[in-house]
């Protein structure tokens, strides 16, 4: 029922011209309703509030949204899990992995990574899993592993971060080299000395894009 209600709201707000623009921005990988982010989130703001009170994740609802052809529905899944991250556990990761490995692009990966990262703050089994994902054949999975500690600040596991980054040196994939730079740039706001030391140690092995992105604030 929730899925049908949300879909109905989305259909009311659909804008064919904006949908074309949004699809083009995503290289025409996905179909859009053409709903701007503020309006989209307003559609399910009350729903997320209600779900947080229940403290139980409705995976059937999320699966229905994820399987919808419109990209806004995947954004809802991403926002739902972010809002409910306090109730997501390590045992839920296989469900999330299903989303990670399908309908992939940076806009979904760069949201699901924070959900996985939040689990890792209290369950160290995530560390070993991220080391496994960092060597996955799927570069989107590797990207998630690289950036799953974004925003952790002083809680960043630098040993784990270093291992994952080094594992992904030598890639010619733009989204991997960009992710390496982002992870270093983000942590440089908290510990610029560590990042400087990292560059001194590995700069000869790093892609120029990673160095450029990672050194932005140092």
Kindly tell me if the per-residue pLDDT of 52 is higher than 80: yes
Tokens of 51: 């779900």
Kindly tell me if the per-residue pLDDT of 109 is higher than 80: yes
Query: What integer best gives the mean pLDDT of the chain?
Result: 97
Q: Which CATH code, of 1.25.40.10, 3.40.190.10, 3.40.50.2300, 1.25.10.90, is assigned to 1-87?
A: 1.25.10.90
The three-point CA angle 63-148-60 to 5° equals 10
The count of C-alpha atoms lying within 13 angstroms of the C-alpha of 192, restricted to the half-sphere facing its C-beta, is 5
Where in the chain are all domains bearing CATH 1.25.10.90? Answer: 1-87, 92-218
Q: How confident is the model at residue 1 (pLDDT cuts 50, 70, 90)?
A: low
Kindly tell me if the per-residue pLDDT of 201 is higher than 90: yes
The three-point CA angle 101-66-63 to 5° equals 100
pTM for the whole structure: 0.95
Q: Once rounded to an integer, what is the mean pLDDT over residues 129-143? A: 98
92-218 belongs to CATH 1.25.10.90: yes
Kindly tell me if the per-residue pLDDT of 170 is higher than 90: yes
Residue 116 pLDDT: 98
Query: Of all residues in the chain, what percent carry a pLDDT higher than 70?
Result: 100
Q: Which residues share a beta bridge with 70?
A: 31
Query: Of all residues in the chain, what percent carry a pLDDT higher than 90?
Result: 100
Tokens of 46: 């009350």
């Amino acid at each position: 029922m929730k899925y049908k209600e949300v879909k109905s709201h989305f259909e009311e707000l659909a804008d064919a011209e904006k949908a074309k623009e949004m699809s083009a921005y995503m290289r025409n990988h996905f179909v859009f309703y053409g709903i701007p982010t503020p309006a989209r989130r307003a559609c399910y703001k009350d729903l997320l509030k209600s779900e947080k009170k229940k403290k139980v994740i409705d995976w059937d609802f999320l699966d229905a949204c994820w399987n919808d052809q419109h990209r806004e529905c995947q954004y809802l899944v991403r926002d739902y899990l972010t809002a409910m991250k306090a109730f997501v556990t390590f045992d839920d990761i296989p469900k999330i992995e299903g989303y990670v490995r399908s309908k992939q692009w940076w806009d979904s990966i760069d949201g699901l990574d924070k959900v996985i990262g939040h689990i890792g703050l209290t369950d160290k089994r995530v560390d070993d899993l991220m080391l496994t994902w960092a060597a996955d054949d799927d570069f989107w999975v590797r990207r998630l592993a690289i950036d799953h500690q974004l925003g952790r600040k002083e809680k960043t596991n630098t040993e784990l971060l270093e291992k994952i980054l080094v594992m992904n040196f030598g890639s010619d994939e733009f989204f991997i080299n960009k992710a390496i730079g982002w992870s270093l740039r983000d942590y440089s706001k908290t510990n610029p000395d560590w990042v400087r030391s990292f560059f001194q140690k590995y700069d000869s092995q790093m892609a120029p894009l990673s160095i450029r992105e990672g050194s932005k604030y140092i």
